[in-house]
Chains A and B, each alone.
Chain A
Amino acid sequence: MKKVLLLLSMVALMPSGAGVLAAPAAAAPGLIEQAEAARKEADALGFEWRDTSKLIKSAKEALDKGQKEESDKLASLALLQSKAAIAQAKSTAKNWKMMIPK
């Protein structure tokens, strides 16, 4: 009897397969969110590029129209621009004195 009760309680406490699948895992940020976060970082460094905001805006508009592929393409470009701008900011902060003409 004790063994049966123990078995029943273990089954009751065991998470079901469906429960595991439905567990609230943190959703990975989409390309637009990633691009926006990187853009903000570049902006805070004072090195945001001119067209990055426009690209993100266009990516959002494309997504609203259901054009996922186009949206991803634009957001990827915005992300790439922002990462390059951040790298540029870091490189410039380190090396600007080398740019002074002799």
Chain B
Amino acid sequence: MKKTIQRRLLTGALVLMTALVTKPAHAVNYQALVDADVKKFQGYFRKEFPDVKFEDYGDGVYALDEDARKQWKEMEEFPPYELDVEAGKALFNKPFANGKSLASCFPNGGAVRGNYPYFDEKRKQVVTLEMAINECRVANGEKPYPGFKGDLAKVSAYMAYISRGQKIDVKVKSAAAYKAYMKGKAFFYGKRGQLNMSCSGCHMEYAGRHLRAEIMSPALGHTTHFPVFRSKWGEIGTLHKRYEGCNDNIGAKPFEEQSEEYRDLEFFQTIMSNGLKFNGPAARK
């Protein structure tokens, strides 16, 4: 009798231990963790700027500064990126040496901005639109476009233009995707460079405040409107070009266009803007 009880207790303990040890990976709901972050992040801006409508965050700093918004609206009547969109369209449809084109790689005529960035579960990395454009070129025997600006930004601008209105809804479905997300998050909040500054320092805590003559834009909505034609650049450039400029400004060595660091940062930032709509390309000062 005593032995039977002992055996049953032992069996029960083993079953319990097995259940605990073999707890399936999918039991962690990464999307729920991310959604909680999004709620906090967007809530921060709602609290800071209670009069700003959620959808206006897609307009960057012009959501916060009424005077600048008026000037920007006027600029958008004859947008400086118009020629770049046209050039991007031509490049998108231009045949490669093998007869195919960028149009061969992307469905829906290239109106796929809303599908990027995403986490590629097979390759275990974040794929951005610009990365996909260059991978298409390489897969078809062409050289990749050089980074940050030029033809890469023009093609991206065209694809963003024909995708306007697509909703941002980036998902995090796996441990690997969550790891990339967390890397982007750590980059966003971490201080770096000679000035010991972070993305969040300028674009959360100082959003809407002056830094010399400029008003700092809110991080919410940052990724909706790229590529942008910046008056300061005198040309159109990618989101990663902007990252490069920000890092340079704070005295940090910038990373390469489409580096893992910048792709993870874009992944995190885009997720923080879930619910907004892609509205690029755009004009900025």
Contacts and interface: CB of A to CB of B under 8 A. Distances in A.
Given A50-B251, A99-B198, A99-B200, A92 B261 contact: no
Interface in A68-102: 81, 88, 91-93, 96-97, 99-102
B194 A81 contact: yes
B38 to A, nearest CB: 13
B252 A100 contact: no
A49 B193 contact: yes
A48 B254 CA distance: 9
A99 B253 contact: no
Given A96-B189, A97-B189, A100-B189, A43 B253 contact: yes
A47 B192 contact: yes
- Determine the main DSSP class of B at the interface with A: mixed
A43 B189 CA distance: 19
Contacts of A64: none
A47 B194 contact: no
B189 A88 contact: no
A63 B201 CA distance: 40
Interface of B: 44, 186, 189-194, 196, 198, 200-201, 204-205, 247-248, 251-255, 261
24 contacts: A46-B261, A47-B252, A48-B252, A48-B253, A49-B194, A49-B251, A49-B252, A49-B253, A50-B193, A50-B194, A50-B252, A51-B194, A52-B253, A53-B253, A81-B194, A88-B191, A88-B192, A88-B196, A93-B190, A97-B189, A99-B189, A99-B198, A101-B44, A101-B205
